[in-house]
Amino acid sequence: MQASIVRNSPEAADAPVGPRPEHVHPLLWRVYRARGVRSAAELERDVGALIAPQQMQGLDAACDVLESALRDRKRILIVGDFDADGATSCALAVLCLRAFGHTAVDYLVPNRFTFGYGLTPEIVEHARAYAPDVIVTVDNGVSSVDGVAAARRLGCEVIVTDHHLAGPVLPDADAIVNPNLPDNAFPSKALAGVGVIFYVMLGLRSRLRATGWFTARRLTEPNLAAYLDLVALGTVADVVPLDHNNRILVHQGLARIRAGHCRPGITALLRVAGRQAHRVQATDLGFAVGPRLNAAGRLDDMSLGIACLISDDADEALRLASELDRLNRERRAIEERMRTQAEGMLDDWQPSADDELPWGLCLYRSDWHQGVIGILASRIKERYHRPVIAFASAADGMLKGSARSIPGLHVRDALDAVAASRPGLLEKFGGHAMAAGMSLPESSLQDFAAAFDAVVRERLDAADLDPVIRSDGCIDAADISLDTARAILDGGPWGQGFAEPTFDGEFDVVSSRVVGDRHWKLVLRHPDGGPAVDAIAFNAVEYQAQMPARIRAAYKLDENEWQGRVSLQLRVDFLTGTGA
């Protein structure tokens, strides 16, 4: 499959552009403009620039319930989700409430294999053992109509904090805090679940401060910025768009991690991943820490990950992080086996051309692991560049599916269209634009696959199935430097919706060799001169049997540290021979 390089235009938006701030590198300003930044104010990363909690609908009602619970010493149970966003959300809620002086707080995470997702009636029944007076959901609950009703029948007050899109009926909770409710005017719709509960804790602290809570109990009022390491981790790991508000949250969290002011569990997870805390970037949270945390929810029980995050003991945190690292290695082995099986299925399905494949791919084997199908769908989507749903067997003849999409297709809306056109085909579903989950009877899989493919074909053009690499254009040989790389790294955080800068251009290949069986290690030189520069092209061997003398590359500027020496390295995302 041949990718194409399309250059971003810094002139794309209609809004007027303010002058370039003096401290911003001209190249970086060009990058910012291409991402819709129009003024220096949009680059502000101080916590004072965060959207005020008062703008979040539902916050006052949630604080009413929580303040009463603290004053009356009610038992609070946090019900989380089994991914990194859910784990950080749960840890943050527990730690903040304890910092507010409330000890009667516990947490419960549904095991994905036993209970499934969210506040279900089954998990409410399981929660009886905790004797909760108040249940607070984090990163789930907006679709838990039956579960909230069951909790209310149990005599519990219920607060739902979530960021997922709501269905046609909302649960009858005492309070719902979700910026993505249709009538919620909160300006940022991109908050992760951990961002939502962080805002709830900000609101509750303000309420307690105003009523003299801390003074009356001789408590030191907690600085909630101390928990932004958790917010940064959950936000990046959940791959939500890094709008201005989220960039502030992530930047502040990263700054605290680099300064050594973070949870022992995060320090331990970085350590077992071989990453240096003082140099941490958003990519380290997304590709090193997040997967290790997620491994608990995928293969075992996310309570292990939450215990790591809330531990105040460095030795205990390291022990738990080491166990999470072991689970992650096990997850990688399972994923590799499943990926090989899926690619074998697709090779048999389409021996000659990509266009013989369905536009919306549905893949299933009865022995696939429920906890790994989301990663499998992502890997197959990356290789074949089309929406993918991977299925695994569940109980009672049901299948669990995990979907990953490509630009141009809102996969939750696509599932909604399938459900509307074929009532009863899907038992339940939910998710976002780029990822979703669902369940359906195994007997319905073939019909569902055909209906999903039909909806995808209605909503995409054939050109959408060709991968596109977005580039910020060519840069001068003089700008291919360690100083520029550092300016870009410092100019983030980069991530979903605010992509790390990618540039393109031609280079002469001074030398090349294969490393690790699949990667090209290169030394390149710009045609206009300048020093030779190291480069690495990951997983590129199968696409380039022999390295040509001159290439066109799409690449990122990066730092590489080896034996205490930091140097410039280009991370090559795509390369092809120029024919020169």
Average pLDDT for 151-176: 95
User: What is the biggest distance separating any 2 CA atoms in the chain, rounded to whole angstroms?
Assistant: 77
Q: How confident is the model at residue 197 (pLDDT cuts 50, 70, 90)?
A: very high
What pLDDT is stored for residue 347 in this prediction? Answer: 85
Q: Check residue 379 and give left, alpha or beta (phi > 0: left; psi -120 to 50: alpha).
A: alpha
What would the pLDDT profile of 491-511 be if each residue is shown by its tens digit? Answer: 999 999 999 999 999 999 999
Q: How confident is the model at residue 539 (pLDDT cuts 50, 70, 90)?
A: confident
For residue 109, pLDDT over 70 is answered with yes
CB 439 within 8 A of CB 478: no
What pLDDT is stored for residue 179 in this prediction? Answer: 97
For residue 517, pLDDT over 80 is answered with no
What would the pLDDT profile of 237-282 be if each residue is shown by its tens digit? Answer: 998 999 999 999 999 999 999 999 999 999 999 999 999 999 999 9
What pLDDT is stored for residue 364 in this prediction? Answer: 97
What's the full length of the chain, in residues? 580
Give the domains, in start order, of the chain with CATH numbers.
51-325 (3.90.1640.30), 350-465 (3.10.310.30), 469-577 (2.40.50.460)
Report which secondary-structure segment, H or E, holds 289. Answer: none
What pLDDT is stored for residue 115 in this prediction? Answer: 67
Between 130-134, 485-489, 559-563, the lowest mean confidence (pLDDT) is in: 559-563
Q: How confident is the model at residue 5 (pLDDT cuts 50, 70, 90)?
A: confident
Average pLDDT for 340-366: 83
Report the DSSP pairing between strands 519-525 and 533-537: antiparallel
Tokens of 170: 């909302």
Please enumerate in sequence order all residues whose Cβ is within 8 A of that of 76, keeping only pairs 6 or more positions apart, or say none: 66, 69, 97, 102, 104, 105, 106, 132, 133, 134, 135, 136
What pLDDT is stored for residue 22 in this prediction? Answer: 87
Rounded Cα–Cα distance for residues 538 and 553 (Å): 13
User: Helices (H) and strands (E) in the chain — how many of each?
Assistant: 18, 17
Give residue 145's Cα distance to chain centre.
26
Average pLDDT for 445-457: 96
CA dist list (Å): 47 to 23, 26, 99, 248, 576: 20, 26, 20, 7, 44
Query: Residues of 310-342 as b/e, b for ≥16 C-beta within 10 angstroms?
Result: bbeeeeebbebbbbbbebbeebeebbeebbeeb
Average pLDDT for 399-413: 94
Does residue 493 have a cis peptide bond before it, meaning omega lies within 30 degrees of 0? yes
Rounded Cα–Cα distance for residues 433 and 429 (Å): 13
Torsion of CA 171, 177, 181, 184, to 10 degrees: 140
Helix 193-210, helix 84-99: angle, nearest 10: 10
For residue 420, pLDDT over 70 is answered with yes
What pLDDT is stored for residue 515 in this prediction? Answer: 87
Q: How confident is the model at residue 349 (pLDDT cuts 50, 70, 90)?
A: confident
Task: Please measure the distance between the N-terminal and C-terminal CA atoms of the chain and give it in whole angstroms.
Answer: 22
